[in-house]
Amino acid sequence: MFSLIRPCPAIMQNKLRFRLIIIYILEVYELANIKSAKKRILISEVRAIRNKAIKSKVKSFVKKVDVAVTEGDKAVAQTILIEAISEISKATSKGIFHKNTAARKMSRLTKAVNEMA
């Protein structure tokens, strides 16, 4: 059994693994009785972590575009816009954003860049 008080340094280096171990100990062993329920708990946690990381990445690109627009640097804004649209499209294809949400985000970013002088 794992020690919850002092995890080993190797586990702490990989925070995702450490978080899953804690969830495995707390939820899977104590709450779920059925094997498939235990598996679903772990899978849903892994997906939630992945979705959170991808959403964070998209937000970072949107902020970069906004900063470039406020600074008035159109060339930089256009290059970052292409990267941001690519990340939004990837997130949509993975099911993290609804297609209309992605279209709205891309439209607003493109409009902001195109309205620059």
Contacts (Cβ under 8 Å, ≥6 apart) of 28: 38, 41, 42
The pair phi, psi for residue 54, each rounded to 5°, is: -70, -40
What number of H helices and E strands is found in the chain? 6, 0
Closest CA to 96 of 43, 55, 45: 55
pTM for the full predicted model: 0.72
Which CATH code of 3.40.1010.20, 1.10.8.100, 3.30.200.20, 1.20.58.110 fits the domain covering 10-114? 1.20.58.110
List the chain pLDDT tens, one digit each, 117 residues: 444 444 455 545 566 677 767 766 666 667 778 888 888 887 888 888 889 999 999 999 999 999 999 999 999 999 999 999 999 999 999 999 999 999 999 999 999 999 986
pLDDT at 2: 43
